[in-house]
Chains A and B, each alone.
Chain A
Amino acid sequence: MIDDSTTAGTDTASTPGVPVLTVDALTIGIGSRNNVKSIVKGISLSLTPGRIQGLAGESGSGKTVTSLAMLGLLPSNAVVGGSIRLGDTELVGMSHRQLNDIRGRRIAMIFQDPSSSLHPQLMVGTQLTDHVKRHLKLSTKQARAHAIELLERVRVPNPDEALSRYPHQFSGGQRQRIAIAIALACDPVVLLADEPTTALDVTVQAGILHLLRDLADERQLAVLLVTHDLGVMSAIADDIAVMRHGEVVESAPRQAIFSTPQHAYTRELLSSLPGAEGFQEATQ
């Protein structure tokens, strides 16, 4: 099953312009049988290699839940309907055993706060290599060499030394770079980024965003950028979908969203943005 999906994935990934991941009429409810709270109410999205799809909305709009659903990481009392397809593989309803071959291997994720998403008691090297050994069947030595390459690519200084250090010994921005390296370690086709800069200092946010942009371009990654911050969106997203109360109210290329917003809610979000100067600061 690994071999199958790998071939399928490579095929799709090498065809620019064709979506690798399609979400169709996705619904998510949380709760017990008679008392299900509907969180996502039938949204559709598609992620294309080399493009960054923004998913904007306030907290509670269902955007984080949507990204977790793509990895099958929702709690056990979640009810998922509709379809999420990776290439030709349907992810909704897949067993955890099958999902484990996709998580980290085909679809990877980076989280909001790298100081909590990295294990504080495990060396960076361990966290960079354990899934590589599992998914790609590399030896410890090969995995280590691979890890050093990755750290170099995300510009963590002294990669060799960094492997045997712990997360708390790095700055917030470096930690997020490490988290990105971990996510990219198995060369996934899809990268989910959930508020990747929200927990970081304003001064390092732009660096992380540019790194994501560059990685999307050079690796033909299909990126889902989940954030409430339209400033972040404007910096790197190609397309933007605006979510509210579990529905996508507007979906369009970035330019269109910022110049001619159609939906009243989108305009409301835009009006809450800081002035143009504030923008520039935040994104440079």
Chain B
Amino acid sequence: MAKKPARIEEPVLAEGVLLSRGFYEREEKRVLTLFLKGLIVYLYTMGGIGFYLSAFNILYNKALVHTVVFVMAIFCALLYYRLLTENLGYLILLAGFAGLVYVFRKYINSGFYAVVNITVEDAAQYFDNDMKRLYNEQIGDRYVTVTMAALFIGIVLDILLNVYISRRMQYMNALITILPINLIPLYMTEEPDTLYVIMIVVATALAIVYKSSRHYSPLMQVKRTDAVFVKKKKTRGRTELSYVYDVKGLAQAGIIAGAFSIVVVLAVTVLKPVENFNVGYKINKYKEVSMAAVGTFLVDGFEGFFRRGNMRGGLRTGRLGDVSSIRLDHQPDVMIEYTPYSSSMLYLKGFTGDTYIPYENYWGTNEKLNDRSVHPEADALAEAFEEEKDYSARGVMRIYNADGDKTLRYVPYYYAGDEEKLTNYDEVIYYPLDDRSDLVVPESAYPEGKPYTEDDLFVPEENRKVIRQFCEDLSLDGMDGREAVQTIADYFQDEIPYTVKPGKTPKDEDFVNYFLEENRKGYCVHFATSAVLALRYVGIPARYCEGYAVDINQVMDGELLENRAYSDYFSGYNSLGETAMVHVNATDADAHAWIEYYVEGKGWRMADVTPSSSEEEDVTDFWDEFDRIMGDGDEDNTEDGTGVGAGIPAMAVRGVIYVIFGLLGGAVCVVILIWAGKYVVYLVRFAKADWSDKLIMRYHVLYKRRSRRDKELRECLNYRTQVTYLAKKRGDAPEAYEWLIEALEQAGFSNALIDENTYLKVSETCKDLYKRRKER
């Protein structure tokens, strides 16, 4: 917060010779000076943004971004006009900005992702790197979203750089703020448009010249005043007086510096064109050394350097425990193209756990994928389809393993093919199972007539006590598979909350035992693992499964593939009617664990025992966090993407209003505090002052009050002219106030103090004199 201006004393030039206060009381055109600073902020901000976007040839609405950034830069600079405008202006600006950003957050997010994706794509090409991972842009119109993101970063930079430039002309800080990100295109030999080179060079030239002169900003003594001159510290017995800033001088110096910069940039560009600049140039050997690391960083982010292992979302392939929370990147792991056939979840199985290893906390699995497949069930469903039985159907699904675990193969229920032969991109045939279908799978259909193995009933000794207690509590013994699964699911739903932040399983603790006995909160793997062991304990064969579960809402939000014929991809019963082919991305947030259990005569069925989340939506980014704070995280109904701000939840709007009003209230309090603080300081100073100073302070208050409305009085620069003017105005003879003038001059200039009686007499007379009366 800016400091209050200090009272200016009359400095002694020589003994008996003072520099009159009138020397300081001339006014500078502060607005124009602030405009110049705002111009530098604009050049830096727009130069920095345009630099990056033009280097990567990213399209955006230049006119709009230039205009808004310029207006905001000038506005931010003008906030320094007065202490009040600075304090209040920033609060209002930030409140308004936060509100706007909240409304346009999807556009801004998408714009950022668009810029990042373009950068990653260029980087992947430049570094010849295949590790490409793109961010999901919620809104596809990059021209709009990049413009919004540019506006957002422009306003943020305006606010930030304004602090650097308007206060201290800290051009190094400004350069450090805008240049590092712009080194990315330079590293990849992408050069910006000449316009943005000129903007940055001109801004730097102006800032260096102004900073070097040290006459760009009010100094401490006269902060927030318009004084032209200020007294500096006395050095070597010499009084130093300095002009504060001179807008004409600054403008003229700026013109010279700017013209010089433009001439140099254009001359160099003509003599050494950008296009030919790197012709014949051999890459720096140190840059060559760094390229692998930089390439990894640009294409894959920090994760390229660190294996995040257990922390990362996605499939755990049976590894449990040692996890305190999951970090989701919401990037597509598996891409699916299929025709929706049910409002239920779509499950893609990738991993099947056979044997639970206690304390080591993982699911062991059979290396042969086909051994854990549900081929007999699929075959039965295929047969039913061929026979055109009720509720039977057949679908074709395209599955692309983009960023999922490449060692796994992802297949839907029920897939009959050879999983060993699948690759990362396959088209598979599947037979969905409707609950109403009367599917019969005889034991003979299974290899060697055994639908399950001993592993499917194995419960480790270390877990038996806890599982027994669990089964007894739920009275699972004697129940059939469906009933037991439903009982377990209900229990989990009612008794054990779902969370992605369950806390770490302590060392030397078993994952299942700790979950069921102590922690009693967890996510899908906790529930699935416990359910499998419980079912096995009561004699129901069960298996642990991992894969991706895609919600129908995600499917609805997927990309419609209109050029694909429905009949080519689905036939048979479809509970949703004739749908269409859609493209859906399954991200790590869709990674899931569930169970398969065996029902005699009916085969292996899958079941999801994970309770629905009782927590608020997982906080994954700033806007989710903002939503959470605002008290309404439900944003599904705003996802139409057709109108800006349309359908914003009422709670969120109310929240924005609360925030704005809260900030405004805070601003009002700050203003009141500033004024009250001023008055308190005055009272304290008055109480401590001697009678001479008291008289001067009292007189100053009277003068200030009256001179606000009396222009002629403002032109009277000393006590004599002021008192004479007022006396004449009242119709009194000025001579009658000679004693008053002398007393004031004595109080103001002499070392001889006045006494209390003089103070009282003079202040009373002054009070009377300064009252506005009609001329007699």
**A complexed with B:** no
